[in-house]
Amino acid sequence: MPDIQLNISSDGYKKIDNNIFYLDNKILEEYENIYNDKKYSDNGYENTSIINDQKDLIKFNNLNKLNQNILSLIKDNKLDNIEFDDIWFVKSVESIYEPKKLPFIPHIDKVRKIKAMVYLNDVTIEDGPLYMAKVDPNNYENFRKELKPDYKKRQENEIKNLKIEDYSPLNGNFGTTIFFDTNAPHFAGKIHNKNSLRKIIRFNFRFKSQNPIKNFFRNLF
């Protein structure tokens, strides 16, 4: 793998357009198996399956390898104060789009993480790409810390001090990977029609200092 500078600490995100992990149909097969498995899909989130136990990764050779490669690249960039949180398998379609609700409005996350989003199909402006603002993530650290436990009810994590023009749509082909700090403002783009689709795997790594927060919020929600 080539030496890649993510610069997440200063820019908030990095999009890598080429298929650097050499993904092929094998990862798609595992994705579909996980997405359709009730063990992972019975989680309360629409159009989403989740693996939250690392022991399950060894059942899926290609997914496990991809997880290891992503984590290695993150740590090669000296972001080594993180650990595995969970992995999301999502199919975003027109019917789930709600323009005035999370995650379709600009926001940051209450629990700070490093995430890596991998596109498993070509994602154009029609398919609801991830939108990101290039900022120093630490600019929003105090804002994040002041969010109340029930922040989701009032969408208090919405970012209102930036213009929509400050966000870039991160279109990409199959295999495009986007690394980002969840303190960088972001949102899921509009899904334009019934033929639109955004098929992704999202690897979530929490900062180790977030452990108590993670458990607290899982109990609440």
- pLDDT above 90 for 165: yes
82 lies in a domain?
Answer: yes
CA-CA distances (angstroms) from residue 128 to 58, 64, 149, 215?
31, 27, 29, 30
* pLDDT recorded at residue 211: 60
How far is the C-alpha of 93 from the C-alpha of 96, rounded, in Å? 6
The answer to whether the beta carbons of residues 15 and 21 sit under 8 Å apart is: no
- pLDDT above 90 for 175: yes
- pLDDT above 70 for 215: no
2 lies in a domain?
Answer: no
1 lies in a domain?
Answer: no
Which pTM does this prediction carry?
Answer: 0.92
Q: Where residue 1 falls among pLDDT bands split at 50, 70, 90?
A: low
Per-residue pLDDT tens for 53-92? Answer: 999 999 999 999 999 999 999 999 999 899 999 999 999 9
124 lies in a domain?
Answer: yes
Q: Which domain holds residue 194?
A: 8-220
CATH of the domain at 29: 2.60.120.620
Percent of the chain with pLDDT over 90: 89
115 lies in a domain?
Answer: yes
* pLDDT recorded at residue 3: 83
205 lies in a domain?
Answer: yes
3 lies in a domain?
Answer: no
Give the largest CA-CA distance in the chain.
Answer: 44
Q: How many domains does the chain have?
A: 1
Per-residue pLDDT tens for 82-141? Answer: 999 999 999 999 999 999 999 999 999 999 999 999 999 999 999 999 999 999 999 999
